[in-house]
Structure 1
Amino acid sequence: MDTRVIESAPRTRGWWTLSAVSAAQLLVVLDGTIVNIALPSAQSALGMSDGSRQWVVTAYALAFGGLLLIGGRVSSALGHRRTFVIGLAGFAVASALGGAAGNPETLFAARALQGVFAAVLAPAGLSLLTTTFTEPRERGRAFGVFAAVGAAGSAVGLIAGGLLTEYAGWRWCLYVNVPVALLAVLGTAFVPADRPLRGEGRLDVAGALLSAAGFATVVYAFNEAEPYGWGAAKVLTLLAAGVLLLAAFAVVEFRAPHPLLPMRVLLHRARAGALLSITLMFVAMFGFYLFMSYYTQTVLGYSPVRTGLVLIINALAALLGSTLIAGKLHGRVAPAALIVPGLVAAAAGVLILTGLTARSTDVLPLYLAPALALTGLGLGCVLPPTAGLATADVPLRDIGAASAAYNASQQLGAALGTALLNTVAASATASYVASAGRTTPAEASVHGYTTALTVAFGILLAAACVAGPLIATRAARGDRR
């Protein structure tokens, strides 16, 4: 038998795996950008208040992030491919439910259900990539393609979201997930089966409950700070309760015989730096995306389609950053040489927008285009190397947990960023109206947006300063703890 046929078979199956996982990544990213574009229309149609509208985004992100650690454990117990298919099917059903929602509560519930199934889908997909591509160079290319598809998904979502919202209605921004998910399910027929891990013990129920409750409480505290204020007893009580729950989770994980998140995954210094980098990046960027959608549509008066065409600058820049910069330099430079400049570039892009006022002219060429390009390039440079670091040198039994931790960092960063920065913007807007006397709604809104973006700028700079030394340690010392 021709040995070339034998050697090419595993490689062919590997690229089938990459195609199926990338299709799922496209689905998740497509859903996020489409919903951001459709949010103003959904708010108007269902009568959502300004204070509650963020739960269309936060309900999904919170369920996704809070349950990802359980999803990683389920993926190991059932097998990554089987869990991957379950996640895709459930995501399709939840999307159909959201598209048919007749009131805000149903839409919020459907978005949370999407997050539940995404919580098993995402770690299963990343685990499949990690176990399939074991050779460093091929793994680097696979992660580069994976990140590039995510960036392309953002571009497709921005355009599709604008077109669907304007010409078919916001509900189709959820219905469109159904055929995409079904195509991905069909693609899994070519993915090699894997064996579930045995002998891992019972599910760490206490850890699962504490982690989900802790993250939910913290995000809810940020959400309640908008109507009640940061000094309100309710908000302070929720924050304290959330911190205590997360501290209890850490104690339980150190002592549990079969922890949901083994501390050895987090105590790897470079991996911790990668998780911190991606968390803070998403805290800043998801607030950035939310404000850009509202600023372009409510202040500049852009249509959803025009908004999508403007925001696509960011997605295309991220695509270039992940392929032409991070993809080309993978293995040639230390991860810190990509991650730290990426965070700084994103911070510079956000900083440009802090100079906006309601009277700013030539907004697109002077503010939006350079800001969107810089933030996109930064995101494209950060995603591939952090994904690689998060799963590097991980024993087979911990791959599900490491993949879940990486995805949890992204989604919890998104949930916290949306809640925190939306609250900062609303508080700044209210203070400006109270202190400025006569002012227009546009002036007050832009002041709120720029105040929140100033906070996002500080978060990105802090990420670069804190995470850089942690990530550089591995490159300098070959840390394989």
Structure 2
Amino acid sequence: MTTVTVTATAAEAAPPTARSHNRWLALTILALAQFLVVLDASIVNIALPSLGAGLGLDHNLLTWVITAYVLPFGGLLMLGGRLADRYGHRRVFLAGVFGFIAASLLAGLSINGPMLLTARAVQGASAAPLAPAALALLMQLFPVTDGRTKALGIWGAVAGLGSVAGVLLGGVLTASIGWSAIFFINVPVGLVVLAAIPVLLSRDVAQSRARLDLWGAITITLGVVALVAAFSMVLEVGFLSPITLGLAAAGVVLLGLFTVIELRSRDPLVSFSIFANRAVTLGNLVVLLIGGAVVGLFFVLSLHMQNVLGYDAMLTGLTQVPLALALIVTAGALPPVMAKAGSAPTLAVSLVGLAIGLVWLALAPVGADFVLHLLGPTIIIGAGLGGAFIAGTELAVQGVSEADSGLASGLVNTSQQIGGALGLAVLFTLATTLTDSLGAPGADEITALAGGYSAAYLGAAGLALLAALIAAFAIRK
């Protein structure tokens, strides 16, 4: 496997390697912060009806409760990762945690729609530097030959668990306490992270004052925001809407302009030499496809449980517990296997398993019994997701120097965000299109919905198989 090592010049000194007297405890705290970031992208889904009734938000504004978080998060990830490389991973991580706590408190105290949407945007903007800085700290705490596979196993499990827990906690907290609890829960957990990290991790030394690539930062932020917004608008207005096409075109133009700026910059925000590392390139492609399959899966699965099977919000959340347990068990058992077999083969097998589980789920009858028809495929999906998250992340950061650890982490998170937005748009459009075609006059509405959701599961399986082919290409290389 080709690797790239970028040597930092005096003007571009990399942040110091993180040191800790208890690195496994430090990893636990870092993973806890990552859990909050992933959780907040999904926990609001089930709470939206209650939230809308409490604040008087109509359907269109409710979708922006999710979009207001996703857009700044996805758009600022690359800048956040590079800021962490330049000004200190611990320092940038703590700043992101502080902003996330403050925004969560503001969201829980919201008395109207604009206040909540502002808080959600600040949450996303704070998560953008937090997430890549946390992963970069993990890479420094655990060198490649010293426990990184096991550490990434824990990290991948937490990332997958956050997506599942969002459905479960969203239903339980909303039903038992109220919608504000889904935001307030971040505050005590965030304060634990804020207090523990300065004790557990060594302090950042003074960083370089090298010029920040301002125009590069502006163009990539606006370009990624435009692409994520375009995919998000598909759910509202369709793929061929002038709004969707306009946003997509603007995103492509801005990212093209960003490429030109970076190639000419003496101090680029993104050093394209990192893509000479095949593991980084292929790993990010796989992470993009996994993000598309996972985000679309959980969105459609929640609708399937409620609209077809008639489950309430809390029961819908509880049905995700077997999937989460399978993911956790896989994450604990997989690192020794991956250390022997390698990340790419483990990734390929995990993705094939994920695809098998999704196809099995798609074949469930309309009046499915959970234990008989859904428990088996959800357990297989959980195991496949656990392996895919861990091995995909490890592949995407293989051979990256400490000077570019924040950049590599930002790339992984950006790929997952863009993939999630794209996958949700494609799979939900696929589901609604087939539902509409099956919903002829006199047809059973529940049967039509079930058919649409099955099509979405098959689409997610297709994304998983495509990612498995890329992983197989990485094995060959």
TM-score, length-scaled by structure 2: 0.88
Map 1:90-169 → 2, pairs under 5 A: 90-134=99-143, 136-154=145-163, 156-169=165-178
Q: Alignment partner of 1:136: what SS?
A: coil
Give the structure 2 partner of residue 183 of structure 1: 192
Give the structure 2 partner of residue 354 of structure 1: 362
Answering whether residue 283 of structure 2 is matched by residue 274 of structure 1, we say: yes
1:272–1:240: structure 2 CA closer, same or farther, 3 Å change rule?
A: same
Question: Which of 413, 423, 426 pairs up with 1:417?
Answer: 423
> Partners of 1:92 and 1:305 in 2: how far apart?
26
- Does structure 1 conserve the Cα–Cα contact (< 8 Å) formed by 2:160 and 2:389? no
1:217–1:26: structure 2 CA closer, same or farther, 3 Å change rule?
A: closer
> Partners of 2:236 and 2:393 in 1: how far apart?
37
1:291 is displaced (CA, Å) by 1.3
Answering whether residue 384 of structure 2 is matched by residue 378 of structure 1, we say: yes
- Does structure 1 conserve the Cα–Cα contact (< 8 Å) formed by 2:351 and 2:467? yes
- The alignment of Structure 1 onto Structure 2 pairs a total of residues equal to 459
What letter is aligned with 2:148? R
Give the structure 1 partner of residue 456 of structure 2: 452
1:136 is displaced (CA, Å) by 1.4
Give the structure 2 partner of residue 403 of structure 1: 409
> Partners of 1:10 and 1:142 in 2: how far apart?
15
What letter is aligned with 1:30? L
Question: Which of 260, 264, 277 pairs up with 1:255?
Answer: 264
Answering whether residue 344 of structure 2 is matched by residue 339 of structure 1, we say: no
What letter is aligned with 2:369? V
1:63–1:468: structure 2 CA closer, same or farther, 3 Å change rule?
A: farther
Q: Alignment partner of 1:414: what SS?
A: helix
Answering whether residue 43 of structure 2 is matched by residue 34 of structure 1, we say: yes
1:228–1:297: structure 2 CA closer, same or farther, 3 Å change rule?
A: closer
What letter is aligned with 2:464? L
1:282 is displaced (CA, Å) by 0.8
> Partners of 2:34 and 2:424 in 1: how far apart?
21
1:128 is displaced (CA, Å) by 1.1
> Partners of 2:186 and 2:321 in 1: how far apart?
20
Map 1:16-31 → 2, pairs under 5 A: 16-31=25-40
1:341 is displaced (CA, Å) by 1.4
Give the structure 2 partner of residue 468 of structure 1: 472
1:16 is displaced (CA, Å) by 3.7
- Does structure 1 conserve the Cα–Cα contact (< 8 Å) formed by 2:72 and 2:125? yes
> Partners of 2:443 and 2:114 in 1: how far apart?
34
> Partners of 1:306 and 1:53 in 2: how far apart?
23
1:82 is displaced (CA, Å) by 1.2
Answering whether residue 246 of structure 2 is matched by residue 237 of structure 1, we say: yes
Map 1:256-335 → 2, pairs under 5 A: 256-325=265-334, 327-335=335-343
1:318 is displaced (CA, Å) by 1.2
Give the structure 1 partner of residue 204 of structure 2: 194
1:388–1:395: structure 2 CA closer, same or farther, 3 Å change rule?
A: same
Q: Alignment partner of 2:255: what SS?
A: helix
> Partners of 1:251 and 1:153 in 2: how far apart?
37
1:33 is displaced (CA, Å) by 4.2
TM-score, length-scaled by structure 1: 0.87
Map 1:35-114 → 2, pairs under 5 A: 35-46=44-55, 48=57, 53-114=62-123
Q: Deviations over 1:267-288 (max 9, x none)?
A: 3111111111111101111011
1:119 is displaced (CA, Å) by 0.6
1:227–1:393: structure 2 CA closer, same or farther, 3 Å change rule?
A: closer
> Partners of 2:68 and 2:471 in 1: how far apart?
28
> Partners of 2:170 and 2:244 in 1: how far apart?
35
> Partners of 2:75 and 2:68 in 1: how far apart?
10
What letter is aligned with 2:267? H
- Does structure 2 conserve the Cα–Cα contact (< 8 Å) formed by 1:24 and 1:88? yes
1:49–1:295: structure 2 CA closer, same or farther, 3 Å change rule?
A: farther
Unaligned runs of 5+ in 2: 1-17
What letter is aligned with 2:40? D
> Partners of 1:12 and 1:271 in 2: how far apart?
30
What letter is aligned with 2:204? D
> Partners of 2:274 and 2:338 in 1: how far apart?
23
- Does structure 1 conserve the Cα–Cα contact (< 8 Å) formed by 2:87 and 2:208? no
> Partners of 1:36 and 1:221 in 2: how far apart?
20
| Range 455-464 or range 119-128, more displaced | 455-464
1:88 is displaced (CA, Å) by 0.8
- Does structure 2 conserve the Cα–Cα contact (< 8 Å) formed by 1:203 and 1:260? yes
Q: Deviations over 1:173-211 (max 9, x none)?
A: 111111110011111132211235425x32222222222
| Range 87-96 or range 415-424, more displaced | 415-424
- Does structure 2 conserve the Cα–Cα contact (< 8 Å) formed by 1:154 and 1:315? no
1:382 is displaced (CA, Å) by 1.6
- Does structure 1 conserve the Cα–Cα contact (< 8 Å) formed by 2:345 and 2:471? no
1:57–1:266: structure 2 CA closer, same or farther, 3 Å change rule?
A: farther
Give the structure 2 partner of residue 479 of structure 1: none
> Partners of 2:245 and 2:323 in 1: how far apart?
36
> Partners of 2:19 and 2:244 in 1: how far apart?
54
Q: Deviations over 1:230-268 (max 9, x none)?
A: 334443333333222222222322222222221122231
Question: Which of 166, 177, 180 pairs up with 1:171?
Answer: 180
1:228 is displaced (CA, Å) by 4.0
**Percent sequence identity over matched residues?**
37
1:468 is displaced (CA, Å) by 2.6
Q: Alignment partner of 1:439: what SS?
A: coil
- Does structure 2 conserve the Cα–Cα contact (< 8 Å) formed by 1:95 and 1:110? yes
1:51 is displaced (CA, Å) by 5.6
Unaligned runs of 5+ in 1: 1-8, 474-481
Give the structure 2 partner of residue 5 of structure 1: none
